Amino acid sequence: MSLFDLAGRVAIVTGGSQGLGRGIAHALAEAGADVVVIARLPEAVTQGSERPHAAVDGVVEELRAKGRRALGVTADVREEDQVNDFVEKALAEFGRIDILVNNAGGSWGESFTKGPILEIGSHDMIEAYRLNVVSTFLCSRAVAPAMFKQGKGAIVNIASITGQGPCPGQSSYGAAKAGVISLTQTMASEWAPAIRVNAVAPSLVETPHRAKGGGGDVEATMLSTTPLARIGTVEEHSAAVAFLASDAAGYVTGTVLDVNGGRGA
Protein backbone atom coordinates (compact mmCIF):
# COMPACT_ATOMS: atom_id res chain seq x y z
CA MET A 1 0.00 0.00 0.00
CA SER A 2 1.29 3.46 -0.87
CA LEU A 3 2.39 5.65 2.01
CA PHE A 4 0.13 8.33 0.53
CA ASP A 5 -2.95 6.08 0.64
CA LEU A 6 -5.67 7.26 3.06
CA ALA A 7 -8.14 4.44 2.38
CA GLY A 8 -10.11 3.48 5.48
CA ARG A 9 -9.39 6.75 7.25
CA VAL A 10 -11.80 9.47 8.29
CA ALA A 11 -10.92 13.15 7.99
CA ILE A 12 -12.59 16.29 9.32
CA VAL A 13 -12.02 19.50 7.36
CA THR A 14 -13.20 22.76 8.90
CA GLY A 15 -14.16 25.57 6.56
CA GLY A 16 -14.44 22.82 3.98
CA SER A 17 -17.29 23.98 1.78
CA GLN A 18 -15.31 26.28 -0.53
CA GLY A 19 -11.92 27.63 -1.50
CA LEU A 20 -8.88 25.96 0.04
CA GLY A 21 -11.04 23.90 2.41
CA ARG A 22 -13.00 22.41 -0.47
CA GLY A 23 -9.75 21.62 -2.27
CA ILE A 24 -8.38 19.90 0.83
CA ALA A 25 -11.56 17.83 1.21
CA HIS A 26 -11.22 16.69 -2.41
CA ALA A 27 -7.52 15.91 -2.07
CA LEU A 28 -8.12 13.74 0.99
CA ALA A 29 -11.03 11.98 -0.71
CA GLU A 30 -8.96 11.32 -3.81
CA ALA A 31 -6.34 9.72 -1.55
CA GLY A 32 -9.06 7.40 -0.22
CA ALA A 33 -10.35 9.08 2.94
CA ASP A 34 -13.97 9.52 3.95
CA VAL A 35 -14.56 13.17 4.82
CA VAL A 36 -16.60 15.20 7.31
CA VAL A 37 -17.03 18.75 6.01
CA ILE A 38 -17.66 21.56 8.49
CA ALA A 39 -18.85 25.03 7.44
CA ARG A 40 -21.01 27.83 8.78
CA LEU A 41 -23.74 30.02 7.36
CA PRO A 42 -23.15 33.46 5.78
CA GLU A 43 -23.75 36.65 7.73
CA ALA A 44 -23.24 40.38 7.15
CA VAL A 45 -19.63 41.52 7.59
CA THR A 46 -17.80 44.59 8.84
CA GLN A 47 -16.00 45.08 5.51
CA GLY A 48 -19.27 46.14 3.91
CA SER A 49 -19.70 43.11 1.68
CA GLU A 50 -20.87 39.61 2.46
CA ARG A 51 -18.15 37.09 3.10
CA PRO A 52 -19.33 33.93 1.37
CA HIS A 53 -19.81 30.75 3.37
CA ALA A 54 -21.10 28.10 0.99
CA ALA A 55 -23.39 25.42 2.34
CA VAL A 56 -21.82 22.01 2.93
CA ASP A 57 -24.26 20.10 0.71
CA GLY A 58 -22.48 20.79 -2.58
CA VAL A 59 -19.11 19.50 -1.44
CA VAL A 60 -20.66 16.46 0.22
CA GLU A 61 -22.33 15.52 -3.07
CA GLU A 62 -19.04 15.99 -4.94
CA LEU A 63 -17.17 13.74 -2.53
CA ARG A 64 -19.84 11.05 -2.70
CA ALA A 65 -19.60 11.18 -6.48
CA LYS A 66 -15.94 10.18 -6.06
CA GLY A 67 -17.11 7.04 -4.25
CA ARG A 68 -16.29 8.32 -0.78
CA ARG A 69 -18.53 8.46 2.27
CA ALA A 70 -19.08 12.06 3.31
CA LEU A 71 -20.93 13.96 6.01
CA GLY A 72 -21.67 17.68 6.10
CA VAL A 73 -22.27 19.59 9.33
CA THR A 74 -23.11 23.27 9.70
CA ALA A 75 -21.25 24.60 12.73
CA ASP A 76 -19.25 27.55 14.06
CA VAL A 77 -15.78 26.37 15.08
CA ARG A 78 -15.47 29.23 17.58
CA GLU A 79 -18.21 27.71 19.73
CA GLU A 80 -17.13 24.82 21.95
CA ASP A 81 -20.55 23.16 22.16
CA GLN A 82 -20.88 23.14 18.37
CA VAL A 83 -17.37 21.71 17.97
CA ASN A 84 -18.09 18.91 20.43
CA ASP A 85 -21.36 18.22 18.63
CA PHE A 86 -19.82 17.73 15.18
CA VAL A 87 -17.08 15.52 16.61
CA GLU A 88 -19.76 13.34 18.21
CA LYS A 89 -21.63 13.20 14.90
CA ALA A 90 -18.46 12.19 13.06
CA LEU A 91 -17.79 9.40 15.53
CA ALA A 92 -21.41 8.22 15.40
CA GLU A 93 -21.33 8.12 11.59
CA PHE A 94 -17.85 6.66 11.01
CA GLY A 95 -16.67 5.25 14.35
CA ARG A 96 -13.27 6.91 14.16
CA ILE A 97 -11.40 10.13 13.37
CA ASP A 98 -7.94 9.81 11.82
CA ILE A 99 -7.30 13.26 10.38
CA LEU A 100 -8.26 16.80 11.37
CA VAL A 101 -7.53 19.77 9.13
CA ASN A 102 -8.04 23.09 10.92
CA ASN A 103 -8.62 25.16 7.82
CA ALA A 104 -11.26 27.62 9.10
CA GLY A 105 -9.85 31.08 9.68
CA GLY A 106 -9.47 34.49 8.11
CA SER A 107 -8.08 38.02 8.37
CA TRP A 108 -11.52 39.64 8.50
CA GLY A 109 -15.09 38.47 8.85
CA GLU A 110 -18.54 38.91 10.30
CA SER A 111 -17.31 40.06 13.70
CA PHE A 112 -14.10 41.95 12.96
CA THR A 113 -12.13 43.93 10.41
CA LYS A 114 -8.47 44.22 9.45
CA GLY A 115 -6.15 47.18 8.98
CA PRO A 116 -3.07 49.00 10.29
CA ILE A 117 -2.56 48.79 14.05
CA LEU A 118 -3.83 52.33 14.69
CA GLU A 119 -6.99 51.70 12.67
CA ILE A 120 -8.24 48.56 14.43
CA GLY A 121 -9.45 47.99 17.97
CA SER A 122 -8.96 45.39 20.65
CA HIS A 123 -12.20 43.75 19.49
CA ASP A 124 -10.69 43.10 16.05
CA MET A 125 -7.59 41.55 17.61
CA ILE A 126 -9.63 39.34 19.94
CA GLU A 127 -12.00 38.14 17.21
CA ALA A 128 -9.14 37.35 14.83
CA TYR A 129 -7.62 35.26 17.62
CA ARG A 130 -10.92 33.48 18.26
CA LEU A 131 -11.44 32.58 14.63
CA ASN A 132 -7.91 31.40 13.95
CA VAL A 133 -6.39 30.19 17.22
CA VAL A 134 -9.26 29.34 19.56
CA SER A 135 -11.00 27.36 16.82
CA THR A 136 -7.82 25.35 16.23
CA PHE A 137 -7.52 24.71 19.96
CA LEU A 138 -11.16 23.65 20.36
CA CYS A 139 -11.27 21.33 17.35
CA SER A 140 -7.93 19.71 18.11
CA ARG A 141 -8.77 19.12 21.75
CA ALA A 142 -12.15 17.65 20.78
CA VAL A 143 -10.70 15.01 18.41
CA ALA A 144 -7.64 14.15 20.50
CA PRO A 145 -9.34 11.57 22.79
CA ALA A 146 -10.52 9.52 19.80
CA MET A 147 -7.07 9.65 18.21
CA PHE A 148 -5.39 8.62 21.47
CA LYS A 149 -7.82 5.72 21.80
CA GLN A 150 -6.92 4.58 18.27
CA GLY A 151 -3.23 5.08 19.01
CA LYS A 152 -2.74 7.20 15.91
CA GLY A 153 -3.88 10.44 14.35
CA ALA A 154 -2.76 13.41 12.28
CA ILE A 155 -3.70 17.07 12.67
CA VAL A 156 -2.82 19.65 10.03
CA ASN A 157 -3.31 23.33 10.86
CA ILE A 158 -3.47 26.04 8.24
CA ALA A 159 -1.08 28.78 9.32
CA SER A 160 0.18 31.59 7.07
CA ILE A 161 3.30 33.37 5.97
CA THR A 162 1.81 36.36 7.82
CA GLY A 163 2.51 34.57 11.09
CA GLN A 164 6.22 34.22 10.32
CA GLY A 165 7.26 37.88 10.20
CA PRO A 166 6.01 41.47 9.95
CA CYS A 167 2.55 41.83 8.44
CA PRO A 168 1.75 45.53 7.84
CA GLY A 169 -1.97 46.11 7.47
CA GLN A 170 -2.89 42.72 8.89
CA SER A 171 -1.47 42.82 12.41
CA SER A 172 -4.30 40.91 14.04
CA TYR A 173 -4.19 38.14 11.43
CA GLY A 174 -0.41 37.85 11.58
CA ALA A 175 -0.45 37.66 15.36
CA ALA A 176 -3.20 35.03 15.26
CA LYS A 177 -1.39 32.87 12.72
CA ALA A 178 1.79 33.13 14.79
CA GLY A 179 -0.35 31.73 17.56
CA VAL A 180 -1.44 28.86 15.32
CA ILE A 181 2.21 28.03 14.63
CA SER A 182 3.09 28.08 18.32
CA LEU A 183 0.04 25.97 19.20
CA THR A 184 0.98 23.49 16.47
CA GLN A 185 4.45 23.01 17.92
CA THR A 186 3.16 22.64 21.48
CA MET A 187 0.47 20.12 20.54
CA ALA A 188 3.05 18.14 18.57
CA SER A 189 5.28 17.99 21.64
CA GLU A 190 2.54 17.17 24.16
CA TRP A 191 0.65 14.65 22.04
CA ALA A 192 3.51 12.64 20.55
CA PRO A 193 3.97 9.87 19.67
CA ALA A 194 0.31 9.02 19.06
CA ILE A 195 -0.76 12.21 17.30
CA ARG A 196 1.33 14.04 14.73
CA VAL A 197 0.61 17.77 14.48
CA ASN A 198 1.93 19.92 11.65
CA ALA A 199 1.03 23.12 9.83
CA VAL A 200 1.03 24.44 6.29
CA ALA A 201 1.95 28.11 5.85
CA PRO A 202 0.60 29.48 2.56
CA SER A 203 1.34 32.86 1.04
CA LEU A 204 -1.26 33.79 -1.58
CA VAL A 205 -3.78 31.15 -2.70
CA GLU A 206 -5.78 31.49 -5.92
CA THR A 207 -9.40 30.90 -4.84
CA PRO A 208 -12.63 32.21 -6.38
CA HIS A 209 -13.21 34.52 -3.40
CA ARG A 210 -9.62 35.68 -2.87
CA ALA A 211 -10.37 39.28 -3.83
CA LYS A 212 -13.26 39.67 -1.38
CA GLY A 213 -10.97 40.90 1.38
CA GLY A 214 -8.99 43.18 -0.89
CA GLY A 215 -5.45 42.67 -2.19
CA GLY A 216 -4.09 45.90 -3.63
CA ASP A 217 -0.59 47.08 -2.80
CA VAL A 218 0.01 44.37 -0.21
CA GLU A 219 -0.64 41.63 -2.73
CA ALA A 220 1.47 43.33 -5.38
CA THR A 221 4.36 43.59 -2.94
CA MET A 222 4.04 39.94 -1.98
CA LEU A 223 4.13 38.85 -5.63
CA SER A 224 7.14 41.04 -6.36
CA THR A 225 9.10 39.21 -3.66
CA THR A 226 7.96 35.72 -4.67
CA PRO A 227 10.63 33.89 -6.72
CA LEU A 228 8.05 31.75 -8.53
CA ALA A 229 6.29 35.01 -9.48
CA ARG A 230 2.73 33.73 -9.21
CA ILE A 231 -0.03 32.88 -6.77
CA GLY A 232 -0.22 29.29 -5.56
CA THR A 233 -3.13 27.09 -6.58
CA VAL A 234 -5.62 25.37 -4.31
CA GLU A 235 -4.41 22.02 -5.63
CA GLU A 236 -0.78 22.74 -4.70
CA HIS A 237 -1.70 23.68 -1.14
CA SER A 238 -4.15 20.78 -0.78
CA ALA A 239 -1.47 18.32 -1.85
CA ALA A 240 0.79 19.59 0.91
CA VAL A 241 -1.97 18.99 3.46
CA ALA A 242 -2.64 15.48 2.12
CA PHE A 243 1.07 14.68 2.41
CA LEU A 244 1.23 15.76 6.06
CA ALA A 245 -1.92 13.76 6.82
CA SER A 246 -0.49 10.59 5.28
CA ASP A 247 2.01 7.97 6.41
CA ALA A 248 4.45 9.46 3.92
CA ALA A 249 4.95 12.12 6.62
CA GLY A 250 5.05 9.52 9.39
CA TYR A 251 8.29 10.92 10.83
CA VAL A 252 7.19 14.55 10.55
CA THR A 253 5.64 16.41 13.48
CA GLY A 254 5.85 19.93 14.88
CA THR A 255 6.80 21.20 11.43
CA VAL A 256 5.57 24.19 9.47
CA LEU A 257 5.63 23.40 5.76
CA ASP A 258 6.07 26.60 3.76
CA VAL A 259 4.02 26.65 0.55
CA ASN A 260 4.82 30.16 -0.56
CA GLY A 261 6.56 30.16 -3.93
CA GLY A 262 9.95 30.72 -2.33
CA ARG A 263 9.24 33.91 -0.37
CA GLY A 264 11.94 34.32 2.25
CA ALA A 265 14.33 32.07 0.33
Supply the residues annotated as catalytic: 173
Whole-Å CA distances, 154 to 55, 71, 80: 26, 19, 21
Instruction: Report the distance separating Cα 104 and Cα 157, nearest Å.
Output: 9
Q: How far apart are CA 223 and CA 257, in angstroms?
A: 19
SS3 34: strand
Instruction: Extract the runs of DSSP E, i.e. beta strands, from 26-126.
Output: 34-39, 70-74, 99-102
DSSP helix/strand/coil, 237: helix
Contact 75, 82 (CB under 8 A): yes
